[in-house]
Structure 1
Amino acid sequence: MTTIHPVRSATPPGPDDDLAREDRAGGASPGGPGAGALPPGGELLTDLLAHTADDERPVTHVHHVPVRESRTLDWPAWTEPGLRERLAARGVRAPWQHQVAAAQLARQGRHVVVATGTASGKSLAYQLPALTRLAEDPRACVLYLAPTKALARDQLASVAALADPSVRPAAYDGDTPAEERDWVRRHSRWIVTNPDMLHRGILPAHQRWSSTLRRVAYVVIDECHAYRGVFGSHVGHVLRRLRRICRRYGAEPVFVLASATVADPAAAATRLVGEDVVAVTDDGSPRPGATFALWEPPLTERTGEHGAPLRRSAAADAAGLLADLVERGARTLAFVRSRRSAESVAEQARRILADRGRGDLVRRVDSYRGGYLPEERRELERALSAGDLLGVATTNALELGIDIAGLDAVVLAGYPGTLASLWQQAGRAGRAQRESLVVFVARDDPLDHYLAHHPRAVFGRPIEATVTDPANPYVLGPQLCCAAAELPLVPADLADFGGPVAEAQLDELVAAGRLRRRPTGWYWAGRGRPDVDIRGGGDQPVAIIEGGTGRLLGTVDGGAAHSTVHEGALYVHRGDTFVVDEFDVEDACAVVHPETPDWTTVARDVTDLAIVSIEQTRPLGTVTAHTGVVDVTNQVVAYQRRRLGTGEVLAEFPLDLPPRQLRTKAVWLALDSRAVQRAEVEDAALPGSLHAAEHAAIGILPLLATCDRWDLGGLSTALHPDTGTAAIFVYDGHPGGAGFAERGYAALRRWLQATRATVASCECESGCPSCVQSPKCGNGNDPLDKAGAVRVLDAVLDELAAADERGATEPDDGDEDDGPTTVAEVRAGAAEEDDLVF
């Protein structure tokens, strides 16, 4: 029987309990019918659970995020009077403490990052100095960068309401009509864009933009914590290129960054910008308080692959919660992990409401995700902001910054990959005077299962540090080519791009014929401009076209296309389902027809891995841990049709798709015959034991690194030709690596402790999606041996504990080491949440 744990005041709030709503005017925001009578979050949760049987209650823990009072300061004396009047007219009577601190630093010419909670008014921290400067200098301008178009348009509206008419704020992105782009370049003094457009549209054409670039006073980088991994590394170099071009035209802009609460924001922002950045982290905004529930759907009588028990899906429970909350008049966002889930959750919620006779509410539920056409996104954003929509199922496209005032509840269908994202999504809810409700619904996944039963891993753990690797040769090399194509590189430029690392990379580029070395510097040797995808995949998006009409339905990422829009795949768009008739790899196009089958599709693939070089080695007796460079070859070879609801395999069809090559970074464990013998695993059970441990380790690594399992890959084998031993590999799913595998190596003991605890404590008998089964396994989760995985992990942890006792300590990863130090302690504490704090 699962019960609601009482709220424990002794549980310390995490540094990211920043669920504040910006209290602009002190009034309630528009809501749905009955919104004014909604109870606070705790009572709303109790109401939702009122008709749930005691033995089916899914809530494993309830945490109360306390109220925080605001701390305000006087307006800085330099604030432009007209701006102060416009702010007062919007209800902003006095700035909060962190807004003034950040604004003062920016005014003084210091690069600054303000890292405070969701809806803590970070926008004012950069609007205050930037708009004042624009009022003082009629020629100055501001460049604003956002990671999503929704956030960019939201901030554009905010600036337009505050700025003097001479500022003429305007968007310059992929949705800007061609006829408007010249006007923006010539007349706007607050240009809203994104790193992609800066990389592809502005910097390569810097001569046309010279009058703007020489007048840039501030560069604003909003929601900068979104720039991580390979994408973040590319963005860091794009910003270095921007600084270099601005210097060429005589400008030295001040960078002002806004971020969710992350570990060491000053260091992360400094890596991103390439110059020293000061952090402001003391949040002075008010917080109305929130009830935060951890929710795990119960096991059902249904079985999936190989007879494994299945939980009720997180999507089903999220849809039920969304419908329940909408019926109570609560404005709600349900965050999901994929585009298909956004469509599915919204449709299920509408169906539930229709079955209850609430047709009046069906039209007030919709989905929002990437891949929609621009006009569809704009209409959904308008309807949500106006209160026309009560419930929206969304991907993380609505996570970042867009001001959706007056939300009462947030449902998170699955862990979003990082604590920073979890708190960012949770912080979308909250009204000025009323406690909100946040429900985290665990998916059938090792990490979600772990978090649902270890509350301190959510509420008592510091936010992750942002992981980037600007020295990644797959990032640095292309970015140096871009820089050289814009302006010849000279030795003085190299310090910005990594110094000796950049110089070595330039030698390789010259040898490859991509650059030419001349006495005056390095010159681009290619024709046209370098074609560099800063999103890291290197593959162009695949267009989804309806064959009967020729209508463009949307796009999917090129890197995911082989497994999602192969011939025969099921594709979902705004509640409508389509089946792929043809997938043209070369033309990046998938042709579909409408169909509503009672099955879904899952791709099957094969993977080979070869070790290229070893960078770090840690001997652990009969086990050796390594990091290094590996070559991964992956090929989607077939797909299965599975019955909706049960996951039963109905049929399997072969595919003829080309293999895909990936050179990346990996962490791996080599277990010699003595380690296998110590684990007491029979030869026949060894492949399944290693495979199960690999799956669980991939599922848990996002606990320690800013990634999710879809950023990672893995391989396990009873005998790898390059090691001569049994081996488990976990690798970054990005060319050149993204720093995730190296993070796992640095925190190896704590990573494997949590992995072992997750597998051993799962209530299933022989393995399920909550512990060792993987949704992305190309082998159909066969073979898997749950008990053998625990014994393999025990053998590795025994050697780690022995190495620690010998003084061969784990590499310092910069975090406090709160975990147990011996395997005996790990085993004793596997079911005790306070023993495993990260």
Structure 2
Amino acid sequence: MPDRRAPIDTEHPLLAGLLTGCPPGETPLRHVEQVPPRPLTSAAWPDWAAADLVAALASAGIDAPWPHQVEAAEHAWAGDSVVIATGTASGKSLAYQLPMLSAVLADARSRALYLSPTKALAADQHRALTALGLPGVRAATLDGDTPFEERDWIRQHANVVLSNPDLLHRTLLPQHQRYSGFLRRLRFVVIDECHHYRGLFGSHVSLVLRRLRRLCALYGAAPVFVLASATSATPGQSASRLVGLPVRTVDSDRSPRGPRTFALWEPPLAIAGSQNSAPIRRAAGSEAARLLADLVIAGARTLVFTRSRRGAELTALSAKNHLIEAGATELADRIAAYRGGYLAQERRALERALTSGELLGVATTNALELGVDITGLDAVVLAGYPGTLASLWQQAGRAGRRGQDALVVFIARDDPLDTYLVNNPAAIFARPVEASVTDPTNPHVLGPQLCCAAAELALTTADVELFGGPAAEQVLAALVEQGLLRRRPAGWFWTDRNRPSANLRGAGHPVTVVESGSGSLLGTVDAGTAPATVHPEAVYLHQGNSFVVEELDLEHGAALVRPEDPPWTTSAQEITDIAILATEQSAMLDGVSVGFGTVEVSHQVVSFQRRRFSGELLDETPLDMPLQRLVTKAVWYTLDAASVAEAGLDQPELPGALHAAEHAAIGLLPLFATCDRWDIGGVSTALHADTGRPTVFVYDGHPGGAGFAARGHAVLPDWLAATRGAIAGCECPAGCPSCIQSPKCGNGNNPLDKAGALLVLDAVLARVIIR
């Protein structure tokens, strides 16, 4: 733990200004990292690059490409699929534009497909292509908002189609006969921001891309895939797993960059309203609003990234109030919020105002992390860890003008992972970013995707390898047994006249959230999480607005809500049990065992608590929700009696020690796997029926697993060492939200034993690290 009174280099004038007024001898600054500049390095245009394209790029101010752009473009032009994994503002778009646009300019019959995770990003790319003014390029966006009368023109005439995996899955592939001309001439498929395809969603997209390749082959095409990613661990392996093909890697970023000062900031502890409440930190959003106001007063163009739409709105509003209180009323109008849910023209106006300097400060969600060309800012503030190091560096990369210093401030939320990161700078600055985790062999993903593929074109034995080999064979047999597919000598056939359904962004049929008064559809939640998130009287947030649930109808998949803004939050309380169905990997290490395999998690929501925003508990209300079962993957460890005794743990302390270690481990797994703590769950018990020992489980919160527990098993020593460091480094005396308390605990964070958790982790680490 760093000495909070030790001097830290604060030479950057903006950072020195932010620290003005901090109490003497106490500073929220935990570390300052100087990220060095990178000089300009240019390369020659490839000789195959279309002359009209080179001229258009020169007119746009791009006189010469950077070496990594040319390297990736050369691979793609030579017919090799490639991923370019470099930082924000490193010109990844030029790497795929060069081969894609040169191809359609050389042959008007050539086609290219651009896929992005959001419609907004595809629209931005369309504007960029249109701005080049190339008469031979007919680019068009094809998404759920595209009118049907325009789709016919796009299908017949567009040679660059910009879309997303959802439309590919729901429209283009099921109607492949209508799009046969496009698929037959498809030469390049661009997958932008491919690091966002992870977990269950990424596994679905991986199989959608295999379906695309299969139908292209039907029409005689074999497109080259060009993937663009943020910097990530093993980008080639992740990209290859995503598309199912060998993929070359370009990850040496040669783009110019000015120096950056990167500050790690931890708000001070405060005491919650209730006398018995654990200490909590000042909210990261409140701290970010104060810093935003100070930076705007200093004349710095600043972007604040928050974790939610509501957070963006509240941060902007609070910063305005700070400016008014400081007598800088004229500056309040130069701050705004930016988030999803705004109209396209509103977003464009905000982007222009920020770029021009009309706006000095913007509080945003990750909507400005992807693709939108906002760079050259003086400062970026991150109000909480964005979930992955890849996202952290993407957001931080928005700061910096070429050759000029910029400031990045990461403010820790009251969360174990945030606390660990600001007190362990090497976890940010001295380690690679996470590997994107996908598992296309997950049977819960494979099943519906194989049904979709069979409905498009009967599956043959040659297709089995494409969709996962032995795993696909097992799932196909189960689908035949269920009557969903029919096995014939020619292959597997879809048996229903209706299309099969597969939800790319979740498993099962979602529960729709409907406003009872107007009948408006507000959104959806996964059926598995509905009892915990939209139970009767739950507070539900949507686009910054608050609602209270009136009724949950799980049978018909609907939750009715009414607009209301109560001064409290709600959290469901659950009873959870876990059974080991199959152990796939196990190791015994001197009394400590580590395992990985398939488990069945049964849980039931039995009540909900209401708490004031300060954390004070108001009451607890019983609920009668159905028992739910989840078959998924888990990693676990156990201790024998000798290990427990050697650690100095008494039996009455054991449940709280294991529970606290479980919570902290869940909070730290996102440091090693591209997941959020809400994607995973945990169970701890002083005596588990299947192991016969004290056991801690961490499991994937998705049917069949999403690869997170598997990643935790693979890096268990590092993961648990970081977990121990987060607990030991927290300054609270007995446990708080920064170390062992969890916002999603179904048992109301009881019992918890901070000191006991350290003893448990020491006992495990003493064995697993030595091995």
| More displaced 10-residue stretch of structure 1: 420-429 or 366-375 | 366-375
Instruction: Specify the alignment match of 1:408 in structure 2.
Output: 378
Q: What secondary structure, in the 3-state scheme, does the structure 2 residue paired with 1:508 have? A: helix
Cα pair distance change 1:468/1:304, threshold 3 Å: farther
Spell out, residue by residue over 1:753-775, the C-alpha distance to the aligned partner (whole angstroms, 9 max, x if none): 22222212321111111111111
Instruction: Specify the alignment match of 1:660 in structure 2.
Output: 628
Task: In structure 1, list runs of 5 or more residues that go unmatched.
Answer: 9-40, 810-838
Instruction: Specify the alignment match of 2:402 in structure 1.
Output: 432
Are the counterparts in 2 of residues 305 and 781 from structure 1 also a CA contact under 8 Å?
no
Are the counterparts in 2 of residues 542 and 561 from structure 1 also a CA contact under 8 Å?
no
Shift of residue 157, structure 1, vs aligned partner:
0.9
Q: Which AA in structure 1 matches 2:763?
A: A
Cα pair distance change 1:290/1:556, threshold 3 Å: farther
Q: What secondary structure, in the 3-state scheme, does the structure 1 residue paired with 2:587 have? A: strand
Q: Does 1:753 align with 2:755?
A: no
Question: What pairs up with 1:279-428 in 2 under 5 angstroms?
Answer: 279-302=249-272, 306-370=276-340, 384=354, 389-428=359-398
Instruction: Specify the alignment match of 1:649 in structure 2.
Output: 617
Are the counterparts in 2 of residues 112 and 277 from structure 1 also a CA contact under 8 Å?
yes
Are the counterparts in 1 of residues 528 and 628 from structure 2 also a CA contact under 8 Å?
no
Q: Does 1:681 align with 2:649?
A: yes
Q: What secondary structure, in the 3-state scheme, does the structure 2 residue paired with 1:91 have? A: coil
Instruction: Specify the alignment match of 2:706 in structure 1.
Output: 738
Q: Does 1:486 align with 2:488?
A: no
Spell out, residue by residue over 1:128-183, the C-alpha distance to the aligned partner (whole angstroms, 9 max, x if none): 11111111111111100001222221111111112523422111112223333333
Q: What secondary structure, in the 3-state scheme, does the structure 1 residue paired with 2:655 have? A: helix
Shift of residue 377, structure 1, vs aligned partner:
5.6
Shift of residue 423, structure 1, vs aligned partner:
0.7
Q: What secondary structure, in the 3-state scheme, does the structure 1 residue paired with 2:581 have? A: strand
Q: What secondary structure, in the 3-state scheme, does the structure 2 residue paired with 1:54 have? A: coil
Cα pair distance change 1:410/1:305, threshold 3 Å: farther
Cα pair distance change 1:481/1:376, threshold 3 Å: farther
Instruction: Specify the alignment match of 1:230 in structure 2.
Output: 200
- In structure 2, how many angstroms separate the alpha carbons of the residues matched to 1:647 and 1:342? 21
Q: What secondary structure, in the 3-state scheme, does the structure 2 residue paired with 1:534 have? A: coil
Are the counterparts in 2 of residues 3 and 60 from structure 1 also a CA contact under 8 Å?
no
Shift of residue 601, structure 1, vs aligned partner:
2.4
Q: Which AA in structure 2 matches 1:278?
A: R
Instruction: Specify the alignment match of 2:582 in structure 1.
Output: 613
Among 97, 103, 116, the residue aligned to 2:73: 103
Question: What pairs up with 1:699-738 in 2 under 5 angstroms?
Answer: 699-738=667-706
Shift of residue 110, structure 1, vs aligned partner:
1.1
Are the counterparts in 1 of residues 84 and 249 from structure 2 also a CA contact under 8 Å?
yes
Q: Does 1:513 align with 2:483?
A: yes
Are the counterparts in 2 of residues 221 and 257 from structure 1 also a CA contact under 8 Å?
yes
Cα pair distance change 1:631/1:338, threshold 3 Å: farther
Instruction: Specify the alignment match of 2:41 in structure 1.
Output: 71
- In structure 2, how many angstroms separate the alpha carbons of the residues matched to 1:193 and 1:508? 33
Among 235, 244, 253, the residue aligned to 2:223: 253
Shift of residue 120, structure 1, vs aligned partner:
0.3
- In structure 1, how many angstroms separate the alpha carbons of the residues matched to 2:148 and 2:513? 21
Shift of residue 728, structure 1, vs aligned partner:
0.6
- In structure 2, how many angstroms separate the alpha carbons of the residues matched to 1:385 and 1:154? 15
Among 481, 493, 498, the residue aligned to 1:528: 498
Q: Tell me the TM-score normalised to structure 1 length.
A: 0.87
Q: Which AA in structure 1 matches 2:252?
A: D
Shift of residue 676, structure 1, vs aligned partner:
2.3
Are the counterparts in 2 of residues 373 and 554 from structure 1 also a CA contact under 8 Å?
no
Q: Which AA in structure 1 matches 2:636?
A: W
Are the counterparts in 2 of residues 691 and 784 from structure 1 also a CA contact under 8 Å?
yes
- In structure 2, how many angstroms separate the alpha carbons of the residues matched to 1:300 and 1:717? 32
- In structure 2, how many angstroms separate the alpha carbons of the residues matched to 1:704 and 1:50? 36
Spell out, residue by residue over 1:456-490, the C-alpha distance to the aligned partner (whole angstroms, 9 max, x if none): 11101122222222221112222222111111111
Are the counterparts in 2 of residues 544 and 554 from structure 1 also a CA contact under 8 Å?
yes
Shift of residue 299, structure 1, vs aligned partner:
1.1
Among 596, 601, 609, the residue aligned to 2:570: 601
| More displaced 10-residue stretch of structure 1: 321-330 or 691-700 | 321-330
Q: Does 1:209 align with 2:179?
A: yes
Q: Which AA in structure 2 matches 1:471?
A: T
Q: Tell me the TM-score normalised to structure 2 length.
A: 0.94
Q: Does 1:133 align with 2:100?
A: no
Q: Which contiguous aligned blocks of 4+ residues in structure 1 show a shift greater than 6 angstroms?
A: 373-376
Instruction: Specify the alignment match of 1:31 in structure 2.
Output: none
Are the counterparts in 2 of residues 371 and 555 from structure 1 also a CA contact under 8 Å?
no
Question: What pairs up with 1:767-782 in 2 under 5 angstroms?
Answer: 767-782=735-750
Spell out, residue by residue over 1:651-699, the C-alpha distance to the aligned partner (whole angstroms, 9 max, x if none): 2223344343321100111223222222322222221111001001111
Question: What pairs up with 1:629-644 in 2 under 5 angstroms?
Answer: 629-644=598-613
Shift of residue 363, structure 1, vs aligned partner:
4.5
| More displaced 10-residue stretch of structure 1: 716-725 or 590-599 | 590-599
- In structure 2, how many angstroms separate the alpha carbons of the residues matched to 1:557 and 1:767? 32
Q: Which AA in structure 1 matches 2:607?
A: A
Are the counterparts in 2 of residues 150 and 398 from structure 1 also a CA contact under 8 Å?
no
- In structure 1, how many angstroms separate the alpha carbons of the residues matched to 2:104 and 2:357? 34
Q: What secondary structure, in the 3-state scheme, does the structure 1 residue paired with 2:124 have? A: helix
Q: What secondary structure, in the 3-state scheme, does the structure 2 residue paired with 1:142 have? A: strand
- In structure 1, how many angstroms separate the alpha carbons of the residues matched to 2:140 and 2:4? 53
Spell out, residue by residue over 1:720-777, the C-alpha distance to the aligned partner (whole angstroms, 9 max, x if none): 2222221110001111112211222222222222222221232111111111111111
Cα pair distance change 1:187/1:710, threshold 3 Å: same
Shift of residue 412, structure 1, vs aligned partner:
1.3
Q: What secondary structure, in the 3-state scheme, does the structure 1 residue paired with 2:702 have? A: coil
Cα pair distance change 1:157/1:331, threshold 3 Å: same
Instruction: Specify the alignment match of 1:269 in structure 2.
Output: 239
Spell out, residue by residue over 1:414-436, the C-alpha distance to the aligned partner (whole angstroms, 9 max, x if none): 22222111111111222224222
Cα pair distance change 1:334/1:740, threshold 3 Å: same
- In structure 2, how many angstroms separate the alpha carbons of the residues matched to 1:326 and 1:186? 50
Cα pair distance change 1:405/1:418, threshold 3 Å: closer
Are the counterparts in 2 of residues 370 and 397 from structure 1 also a CA contact under 8 Å?
yes
Are the counterparts in 2 of residues 7 and 64 from structure 1 also a CA contact under 8 Å?
no
Shift of residue 797, structure 1, vs aligned partner:
2.2
Aligned-residue CA RMSD (Å): 2.4
Are the counterparts in 1 of residues 272 and 616 from structure 2 also a CA contact under 8 Å?
no
Cα pair distance change 1:405/1:462, threshold 3 Å: closer
Are the counterparts in 2 of residues 539 and 559 from structure 1 also a CA contact under 8 Å?
no
Q: Which AA in structure 2 matches 1:115?
A: A
Are the counterparts in 1 of residues 89 and 375 from structure 2 also a CA contact under 8 Å?
no
Instruction: Specify the alignment match of 1:28 in structure 2.
Output: none
Q: Which AA in structure 2 matches 1:289?
A: P
Q: Does 1:195 align with 2:165?
A: yes
Q: Which AA in structure 2 matches 1:272?
A: L
Cα pair distance change 1:360/1:544, threshold 3 Å: farther
- In structure 2, how many angstroms separate the alpha carbons of the residues matched to 1:299 and 1:103? 51
- In structure 1, how many angstroms separate the alpha carbons of the residues matched to 2:108 and 2:275? 66
Among 204, 209, 221, the residue aligned to 1:239: 209
Spell out, residue by residue over 1:265-295, the C-alpha distance to the aligned partner (whole angstroms, 9 max, x if none): 1111111111111111121210112110001
Q: Which AA in structure 2 matches 1:769?
A: P
Cα pair distance change 1:54/1:772, threshold 3 Å: same
Are the counterparts in 2 of residues 290 and 436 from structure 1 also a CA contact under 8 Å?
yes
Are the counterparts in 2 of residues 599 and 642 from structure 1 also a CA contact under 8 Å?
yes
- In structure 2, how many angstroms separate the alpha carbons of the residues matched to 1:2 and 1:126? 47
Are the counterparts in 2 of residues 3 and 59 from structure 1 also a CA contact under 8 Å?
no
- In structure 1, how many angstroms separate the alpha carbons of the residues matched to 2:534 and 2:339? 17
Shift of residue 248, structure 1, vs aligned partner:
0.7
Shift of residue 396, structure 1, vs aligned partner:
2.4
Q: Does 1:88 align with 2:61?
A: no
Q: What secondary structure, in the 3-state scheme, does the structure 1 residue paired with 2:173 have? A: helix
Report percent identity of matched pairs.
Answer: 59
Q: Which AA in structure 1 matches 2:753?
A: D
